[in-house]
Amino acid sequence: MRPSGRDLDQMRAVSIETGFTKHAEGSCLIKMGDTHVLCTATIEDRVPPFIKGSGLGWVTAEYGMLPRATNTRMRREAAMGKQGGRTVEIQRLIGRALRAGVDRVALGERQISIDCDVLQADGGTRCASITGGWVALRLAVNKLMKTGEVKIDPLVDPVAAVSCGIYAGQPVLDLDYPEDSEAGVDGNFIMTGSGQLIEVQMSAEGSMFSREQMNTLMDLATKGTAELAELQEAACA
């Protein structure tokens, strides 16, 4: 029995509210259970120096958690003078995951910055950030296409992410914090709407796992990301 009472292959309740902020070119509040992340997209007429003049666009991301996103207050990273290693790793993950679903030639020489701010954390914040980040990106690109600044849709496939793991000896989909903190195996799966893999982060957390168990987790992840892709499409319609 999972702490939440969910079936082994059951996602938490997911909702995506678009247009959550006034000024961003694209925004949404994604809720995956008790994990809530605000995702915004900003269009900028510049690109990093290393691709300037190439005609290629760029998608990048920043990630952060509010001090009371968790059950005890965390110090703001700005107050400490630098970002933590976890933050840097996650925002790089979000950026490269979203870029995998973008035709950077069609995007043109501009940058879209995705900001993911965790309002409340209960496991799976990076997965929620990627899933919501794609929605914010989609909405921003829709505006570029509406104004004619972009002629061909540069978003080739939706990108979504979900966690899977082995909890109490059972493969489970979409871990919440009680499961994540005690899982014997924990993995994050990033996939496209068509079922193609972008990245898998998977490790044993105290117990090893078999090839058969890994295949089961892959099947769970495929089911979960397909459900998320449907919700992304409905939110952007």
Segment 158-173, tens digit of pLDDT:
999 999 999 999 999 9
Whole-model pTM: value is: 0.96
User: For each of the chain's 237 residues, which pLDDT tens digit applies?
Assistant: 899 999 999 999 999 999 999 999 999 999 999 999 999 999 999 999 999 999 999 999 999 999 999 999 999 988 888 889 999 999 999 999 999 999 999 999 999 999 999 999 999 999 999 999 999 999 999 999 999 999 999 999 999 999 999 999 999 999 999 999 999 999 999 999 999 999 999 999 878 899 999 999 999 999 999 999 999 999 999
Q: What is the pLDDT of residue 119?
A: 98
Dist CA 234 CA 231 (whole Å): 5
Phi, psi of 236 (to 5 degrees): -95, -5
Q: Contact 124/175 with Cβ under 8 angstroms? A: yes
Longest dimension (CA), the chain: 56
The DSSP output letter for 12 is: P
Q: Contact 112/49 with Cβ under 8 angstroms? A: no
Q: What three-state secondary structure class fits 32? A: strand
Residue matched to tokens 């995702």? 39
> Which residues face 188 on adjacent strands?
163, 201
Q: What is the pLDDT of residue 133?
A: 98
